[in-house]
């Protein structure tokens, strides 16, 4: 069986969109920016705030009840229901360690039928010192050596994986060049 590594935020769920609509905009009612205007990730420059202010707001959302109540991306859930048993699945996310348990809980609640392991490459936060095994998803993929396909919204993660011979599926988001619809991108996997 081939093994798929799924990014969590903005792949299995719509974190950035929901954070922006439910947390950022209510806290910044004068903001004229729309979700589709977030053409950089992280979007702190577009929002005209510091990286720490952006990350603090995002992390607050990650630890909220709203995060746990997010629905999964329906196209991915439908694909997994139809084809998921043909593959092994792991979650591979970049999240701060203090939010990893919330992320893993959400993953297993919605995707536990298919995704059986949860892996974190911790994203750094100011003032936090942690043991570093891997600093990128590519380093983790090289170490584990079992992944055949990665699904991610970060073009660099896809590029780095493809250099190692791992097929990449880019989840279309405003901050990347993904052109295919989600369902179309996933359709190519069913024949592998």
Residue ranges of domains in the chain: 3-14+71-187, 15-68
Looking at domain 3-14+71-187, which CATH architecture does it have? 3-Layer(aba) Sandwich (3.40)
| Backbone φ/ψ region at 92: left (φ over 0), alpha (ψ -120 to 50), beta | beta
Question: Which phi and psi (to 5°) does residue 167 adopt?
Answer: -65, 140
Residue 189: pLDDT over 90: no
Tell me: pLDDT of 33 over 90. yes
Tens digits of residue pLDDT in 51-110: 999 999 999 999 999 999 999 999 999 999 999 999 999 999 999 999 999 999 999 999
Angstrom distance (rounded) from CA 160 to CA 121:
15
Task: Find the helix or strand (DSSP H, E) in which 187 lies.
Answer: helix 182-187
Asked if the model's pLDDT at residue 180 lies above 80, the reply is: no
Does residue 192 register a pLDDT over 80?
A: no
3-state helix, strand, coil in the chain (%, to 5): 50, 10, 40
Mean pLDDT of all residues in the chain?
94
Mean pLDDT, residues 109-124: 96
Q: Is residue 42 reached through a cis peptide bond, with omega within 30 degrees of 0 on the bond before it?
A: yes
pTM of the shown model: 0.95
Q: What is the DSSP letter of 12?
A: I
Distance CA 91, CA 119 (A): 6
Q: Which helix (H) or strand (E) holds 90?
A: strand 88-93
Count how many Cα atoms sit within 13 Å of the Cα of residue 147 in the half-sphere of its side chain. Answer: 30
CA 133 vs CA 61, 130, 162: distances in Å = 26, 9, 21
How confident is the model at residue 38, as a pLDDT?
97
pLDDT at position 130: 84
């Amino acid at each position: 069986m081939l093994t798929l590594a799924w990014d969590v935020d903005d792949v299995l769920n719509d974190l950035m969109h929901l954070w922006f609509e439910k947390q950022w905009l209510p806290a910044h009612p004068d903001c004229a920016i729309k979700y589709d205007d977030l053409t950089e990730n992280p979007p702190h420059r577009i929002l005209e705030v510091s990286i720490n202010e952006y990350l603090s707001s995002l992390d607050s959302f990650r630890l909220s009840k709203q995060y746990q109540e997010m629905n999964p991306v329906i196209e991915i859930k439908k694909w997994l229901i139809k084809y998921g048993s043909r593959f092994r699945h792991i979650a591979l996310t970049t999240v701060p360690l203090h939010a990893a348990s919330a992320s893993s809980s959400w993953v297993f609640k919605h995707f536990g039928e298919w995704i059986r392991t949860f892996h974190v490459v911790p994203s750094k936060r100011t003032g936090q010192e942690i043991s570093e095994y891997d600093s990128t998803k590519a380093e983790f993929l090289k170490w584990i050596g079992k992944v055949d396909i990665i699904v991610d919204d970060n073009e660099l993660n896809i590029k780095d994986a493809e250099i190692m011979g791992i097929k990449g599926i880019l989840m279309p988001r405003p901050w990347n060049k993904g052109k295919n619809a989600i369902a179309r991108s996933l359709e190519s996997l069913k024949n592998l």
